[in-house]
Amino acid sequence: MDLTTIGLNSIWLMLATILVIFMQGGFILLEAGSTRMKNAGHVAGKTIFTFGIATLVFWAVGYGLIYGGDGNAFIGWGDFFLNPNPEAVDGDAYPQTIDFMFQLAFAGIALTIAWGGFAERGKLAAYLIFSVLFIALVYPVVAHWIWGGGWLSEHGKQDFAGSTVVHLTGAMAALAATILLKPRIGKFNKDGSANEIHGHNQVFTALGVLILWVGWFGFNAGSTLEVGKAFFGYVALNTQLAAGAGAIAALLIAWAITGKADVPTMLNGALAGLVAITASCAFVDPWAAVVIGIIAGLLVFGSMKFFEKLKIDDPIFALSVHGVAGVWGTISTGLFATETLAVQTLDWGKPGLFYGGGFEQLGVQVMGVVTSGLFAFVASFIILAIMKAVMGLRVTEEQEIIGLDLSEHGSYGYPEQIKQTNN
Amino acid sequence: MNFSLDEFNKKISNAESFKQLGEERDKFNEMIQDLHTSIEQIKEINQIHDLFIQRTITLSETTLRGRGFGPPPVSYDFILFGSGGRQEQTLWSDQDNGIVYENPNNEHKEKVKSYFKELAITIEHGLERAGYPPCEGNVISTNPLWNKPLDDWYFKMNEWFEDPHWEHVRYLLILADSRSVYGQGILINKIKTRYFSEVASLSPRILEKMLHNTLRHKILLGVFGHLIKEQYGEEAGGLDIKYGAYIPMVNGIRLLSIEAGLFETSTLERIHKLKLMNLIPERYAAEYEKAFSNIFKLRYRTLYKKENGMYTSNGILKAKQLTKEQREELKSSLKIANKLQKYIKKKIDSSR
């Protein structure tokens, strides 16, 4: 490969990496805005230090367990404590350094999604330990199965940028966490009805969504990995369409059913559109991207209500946005993947049900999403259950009521505001 | 439910203190446990509410006499607004009331004013003892805005008509439902006569303002023809019958009645009169009457509680209180409420 091509690829992939890392900023605002003021500093701060932990653990073992060359169908092996060649070597489309950075950014996103299930009541220590175990034991397995040459990739499981690998895995960990942690104080009444615990700043939440939206061009379009004939533009187009469609669909369905055009639901619709198109962005026609986004927007509304009915507290709707939309996005390629894109452009799996592929690809997608989701849930549940028994996951009632800013970190994110409300 | 109006009349008229009146009120609420109330019974319940309020006022006058204020210095009407004005009180209605009194001579003005101020305080207290919570919106005779001589009412009303911003229009709409519960009713009728002549001279602009003020309560019917339920809290799954069904119909019919200059205040009487005057087609009138009666009866089935000695409710009907048939019936009533809103919008827009 000539130097110009390597250089272009590398610049594009590095830019995509930066965009994906910047998505952490989107999550900070999204999560802080969706929760209460007394936890804001904690919510924001923990995103940074757990990303730090993820970095070190991914460098030490995570990357090697996904892509290490001495692995098998279940797990990769090798390249631990990565010490890569400083430059691209012969045959590389880009250097391994940048590949590592890009993959790390994705792992970091999966972990941050998982925190949705811990929000407003998880112990600081639980965040520290679970960061290590999730990046070492949970994420690499699913990532290896689908992207690292594992058994699902051999079946041609289509997941272009990680509806399953990143979003569903993160959401399953969040589900395990929220089940084990139990709902926040005041979320449900004795008769089982749910209360609305409003986030403290919808502007933060909306800005968080926009930052995520922009970052998603690194996430999806960057997953072309190479510049080639600029196929990333097409992936970006589909991504944009699905996000827009998701926002509109969620707003309209909330308005129609509840009589209120709820802003948080609309924002979740945009995210659900993005999550859903993540698997399928490179495999489908633009009209299908719109359909996938619309269905994701409708699903996220129903799913938010569904989890509430089950009395599962999902403070920032990670289960609905990343879990349910992640499942839908993965299955959607089994329906809408075109022959031209899947076979000719990408050579990745087969066309979907609506493009003459029959049920084959759809079957692979369903199998992939079920096995990956199940693994991520069971593994996270076991890890968290052991942690719960050994060290406990949840702060005390008193700490939860004072807020994690003070109880876990010793100072409020909004000192003046909180003092006023306490008086 | 089985009670004799005469019997209650006797008991209430014999009550010699607010305490006794409060005891009678408790007995009254206890007796009406069966919430499946007919329109006829609701009318009787409202007559009894009137008796309670009238007796409270008589006792208050007596109290003031005992405290050396003497008898009322001029004649007055004690007026009810809101559901009391419309004779549509529930078993948990609050106090929405005011006083209009004869213009006093200049030299007695302050003395008269202080008498009615004191009277209002005493009545408010008495009504609280009888289980009526004070009005949250401060539409109550202890608020000087709602307790003044006839000329001041004229003056204020003029001000409201001349500068019809949102709050003033709200006052005008409140006034439209007023009814004298104690006194000869001459004073309130004078106010209303002037009110309707103002409306006639300012139409349709003032009606448009009134329309916009009343349309903000959305009917509980979604675009798929489903009932819009409470999403959160202990009432999740419940229906906000008050603001999502009852008030929109009341507001709609009231607006047509204001346009027509009707002195009637009860929604059913207003519908009847509008029909007689050919202001709404007979077919529509029958539909409105049926829908309103259904909604009104459901409103009566809302659960209420006694809190700090007073009867209150959040106006939410629990979903499980309704059978499938009743839900369907409610939906068709709400469709008619929707039609009413559309009819009014069209009517007022076309008169522009």
Q: How far apart are CA A352 and CA A362, in angstroms?
A: 6
Q: CA nearest A228: which of A93, A87, A106?
A: A93
Q: CA nearest A346: which of A217, A166, A99, A160?
A: A160
Rounded (5°) CA angle A303-A267-A31:
90
What DSSP designation does B230 have? P
The count of domains in chain A is 1
- Written as one letter, the residue type at A21 is I
Q: Which of B231, B235, B316 to mutate to test the interface with A (most CBs of A within 10 A)?
A: B231
Please state, in angstroms and as integers, the Cα–Cα distance from residue B105 to each residue in B78, B112, B145, B151, B152, following that order: 20, 9, 20, 12, 13
Tokens found for residue A76: 């990769």
Q: CA nearest A92: which of A253, A233, A225?
A: A225
Nearest CA in chain A to B223: A256
DSSP lists the bridge partners of residue B149 as B101
For the ranges A36-50, A156-170, A209-223, A401-415, the lowest mean pLDDT is seen at A401-415
The predicted-structure confidence for A303-331, as pLDDT tens digits, reads as follows 999 999 999 999 999 999 999 999 999 99
Q: How far apart are CA B164 and CA A193, in angstroms?
A: 42
The minimum CA-CA distance between A325 and chain B, rounded to whole Å, is 23
The predicted-structure confidence for B157-173, as pLDDT tens digits, reads as follows 999 999 999 999 999 99
Q: How far apart are CA A37 and CA B66, in angstroms?
A: 57
Closest CB to A256 among B220, B223, B237: B223
- What is the percentage of chain A residues whose pLDDT exceeds 70? 99
Residue A239 pLDDT more than 50? yes
CB contact under 8 A, B220 and A196: no
pLDDT for res B350: 81
- Categorize the per-residue pLDDT at A218 as very low, low, confident or very high, splitting at 50, 70 and 90: very high
In whole numbers, what is the pLDDT of chain A averaged over residues? 95
Give the mean model confidence (pLDDT) for residues A79-92.
94
Closest CB to B233 among A193, A256, A258: A193
- Categorize the per-residue pLDDT at B217 as very low, low, confident or very high, splitting at 50, 70 and 90: confident
Nearest CA in chain A to B244: A259
Q: How far apart are CA A196 and CA A219, in angstroms?
A: 32
Nearest CA in chain A to B220: A259
Buried b (16+ CB within 10 A) or exposed e, A349-361: bbbbbebebeebb
Nearest CA in chain A to B239: A258
Q: Could you give the 3-state DSSP secondary structure of residue A391?
A: coil
Closest CB to A193 among B222, B226, B234: B234
- Written as one letter, the residue type at B161 is F
* Chain B CB contacts of A265 below 8 Å: none
DSSP lists the bridge partners of residue A45 as none
For the ranges A302-316, A382-396, B306-320, the lowest mean pLDDT is seen at B306-320
- Categorize the per-residue pLDDT at B135 as very low, low, confident or very high, splitting at 50, 70 and 90: confident
Q: Which of A188, A193, A195 to mutate to test the interface with B (most CBs of B within 10 A)?
A: A193
pLDDT for res B75: 97
Placement of tokens 């970091």 in the chain: A108
CA quadruple A404, A408, A409, A410: dihedral sign: positive
Domain ranges of chain B: 1-201, 203-352
CATH no. for B1-201: 3.30.460.10
What lies within 8 Å, CB to CB, of A43 at 6+ separation is A28, A31, A32, A35, A119, A120, A404
Residue A420 pLDDT more than 80? no
Q: How far apart are CA A276 and CA A250, in angstroms?
A: 14
Q: Which residues of A lie inside 8 Å of B (Cβ-Cβ)?
A: 189, 191, 193-196, 256-259
Rounded (5°) CA angle A392-A197-A311:
60
What lies within 8 Å, CB to CB, of A416 at 6+ separation is none
Q: Give me the half-sphere count of Cα atoms (radius 13 Å) on the Cβ side of residue B279.
A: 20
* Chain A CB contacts of B223 below 8 Å: 256
Higher pLDDT, B318 or A332: A332
pLDDT for res B194: 97
- What is the percentage of chain B residues whose pLDDT exceeds 90? 74
B13 close to B55: Cβ distance less than 8 angstroms: yes
Closest CB to A189 among B220, B226, B234: B234
The predicted-structure confidence for A40-81, as pLDDT tens digits, reads as follows 999 999 999 999 999 999 999 999 999 999 999 999 999 999
What lies within 8 Å, CB to CB, of A189 at 6+ separation is A195, B233, B234
Residue B351 pLDDT more than 80? no
ipTM of the shown complex:
0.78
A348 close to A156: Cβ distance less than 8 angstroms: yes
- Categorize the per-residue pLDDT at A423 as very low, low, confident or very high, splitting at 50, 70 and 90: very low
pLDDT for res B3: 64
pLDDT for res A421: 52
By residue range, what is the domain housing residue A128? 3-422
pLDDT for res A199: 95
pLDDT for res A132: 98
Question: Could you give the residue ranges of the DSSP H alpha helices within chain B?
Answer: 5-14, 18-31, 39-66, 82-85, 109-129, 150-162, 166-176, 186-202, 205-214, 241, 247-260, 267-276, 282-300, 324-350
Placement of tokens 């609701």 in the chain: B42
pLDDT for res B215: 80
pLDDT for res B34: 65
At A260, which CATH number? Answer: 1.10.3430.10
* Chain A CB contacts of B232 below 8 Å: 193-196
Nearest CA in chain B to A255: B222
- Categorize the per-residue pLDDT at A422 as very low, low, confident or very high, splitting at 50, 70 and 90: very low
Q: Which of A187, A197, A257 to mutate to test the interface with B (most CBs of B within 10 A)?
A: A257
In whole numbers, what is the pLDDT of chain B averaged over residues? 92
B119 close to B60: Cβ distance less than 8 angstroms: yes
Q: CA nearest A31: which of A138, A143, A109?
A: A109
Rounded (5°) CA angle B35-B41-B46:
100
Give the mean model confidence (pLDDT) for residues A212-240.
97
Placement of tokens 């797990």 in the chain: A75
Q: Could you give the 3-state DSSP secondary structure of residue B134?
A: strand
Tokens found for residue A30: 């999204």
Give the mean model confidence (pLDDT) for residues B191-216.
92
pLDDT for res A395: 95
- Categorize the per-residue pLDDT at B234 as very low, low, confident or very high, splitting at 50, 70 and 90: confident
Q: How far apart are CA B272 and CA B265, in angstroms?
A: 11
B59 close to B322: Cβ distance less than 8 angstroms: no
Please state, in angstroms and as integers, the Cα–Cα distance from residue A41 to each residue in A19, A38, A122, A256, A264, following that order: 23, 8, 14, 36, 21
pLDDT for res B35: 58
Residue A229: Cβ within 10 Å count? 10
Q: How far apart are CA B273 and CA B264, in angstroms?
A: 8
pLDDT for res B309: 86
A213 close to A270: Cβ distance less than 8 angstroms: yes
Q: CA nearest A328: which of A362, A356, A305, A360?
A: A362
- Written as one letter, the residue type at B238 is G
pLDDT for res B200: 95
Please state, in angstroms and as integers, the Cα–Cα distance from residue A199 to each residue in A35, A40, A286, A316, A332, following that order: 4, 10, 34, 9, 32
Q: How far apart are CA A409 and CA A399, in angstroms?
A: 11
Please state, in angstroms and as integers, the Cα–Cα distance from residue B79 to each residue in A301, B89, B119, following that order: 48, 14, 13
pLDDT for res A115: 97
Please state, in angstroms and as integers, the Cα–Cα distance from residue A183 to each residue in A160, A175, A264, A313, A341, following that order: 34, 12, 20, 5, 44
